[in-house]
A = this chain, B = another copy of it.
Amino acid sequence: RSSSRYLPRLVAMAQSQSYWASIESDIETYLKKAIPIRSPESVFEPMHHLTFAAPRTTAPALCVAACELVGGNRIQAMAAACAIHLMHAAAYTHEHLPLTDRPRPKPTIQHKFDPNIELLTGDGIIPFGLELLARSMDLAQSNPDKILRVIIEITRASGSQGIVEGQYRELGVDELSSDIKIIEYVSNKKEGELHACGAACGAILGGGAEEEIERLRNFGLYVGTVQGIVAKNKPGMEEKIEKLKGLALKELESFKGDKSELISRLVEPSLCAA
């Protein structure tokens, strides 16, 4: 009867996957509505394409889940979740531009558009995401102070305190010589800060207490850093990964209920690809 021992765990995994899948589906619906292919098509077709061509991260979904965890409604976090995906999509697009001084070969991606178009589209996506957020007040039944606070969170995480700083650090680092410290630093600044931002924004918009916001921010930072490190697939980082997972789960201890259990699953990157 060894199978019955695992049944509760399998049920929990299935529940977790369907929870994350429902959030992902809602985000996708919202994004598709927010970025229709409309006039001028020369602008909006690449914007639409590059928004959905960027690989998903779990930062937007964490934003929604954190909002629900602190008692908010999903819709309150939706614009922020989309803005977070858009910042990531813009960064991803620019990271793969064929510039003359790319320090090392990047994984080959399909370029549907010319470099100039991709450059401009990235430039258009950043303000578009923040505009979406700034306009979301009625929908989210939020107060403007909360939205401004979330704008500050997102601009920090996508700018020179987050993704851009991580990308700077990657420049000039040779792939082969990149050591554990650099991988951790870059993962912290890129995936880490984006997830920290997602979790904090969700908690802010859902009406969480300051302590809840900070715990969820820390959880996001650890979880995102783990994901960044795991994606690099370098041997010798197992201990660091386990330590970060432990720290992440510790931040969730004070939260009760099913949602806390669902969110905790994010520490296992393989489970997120629902």
Contacts and interface: CB of A to CB of B under 8 A. Distances in A.
A160 B128 contact: yes
A99 B100 CA distance: 8
Contact of A130 (B128, B143, B155, B169): B155
B117 A40 contact: no
Decide if the interface of chain A is mainly helix, strand, loop or mixed: helix
Nearest to A154: B127
B158 A127 contact: yes
A134 B155 contact: yes
Interface stretch (A58-66, A90-98, A207-215): A90-98
A117 B44 CA distance: 27
Contacts of A158: 127
B120 A164 contact: yes
A148 interface: yes
A117 B171 contact: yes
A248 interface: no
Contact of A152 (B119, B121, B135, B154): B135
A205 interface: no
A28 to B, nearest CB: 21
A94 B160 CA distance: 17
Contacts of A42: 168-169
Nearest to A114: B101
Given A117-B171, A134-B152, A135-B152, A98 B100 contact: yes
Interface residues of A, number: 53
Contact of A148 (B98, B147, B165): B147
Nearest to A157: B127
A43 interface: yes
A55 B18 CA distance: 53
A97 B119 contact: yes
Interface in A119-135: 119-124, 126-128, 130-131, 134-135
A126 B124 contact: no
Nearest to A126: B126
Interface of A: 40, 42-44, 47, 87, 90-91, 94, 97-103, 114-117, 119-124, 126-128, 130-131, 134-135, 137, 143-145, 147-148, 151-152, 154-156, 158-160, 164-165, 167-169, 171
28 contacts: A40-B160, A43-B160, A43-B164, A43-B165, A43-B168, A94-B119, A94-B123, A99-B99, A99-B115, A99-B119, A100-B115, A101-B114, A101-B115, A117-B168, A123-B164, A126-B126, A127-B156, A127-B159, A128-B159, A128-B160, A130-B130, A130-B155, A131-B159, A135-B152, A143-B144, A144-B145, A147-B148, A148-B148
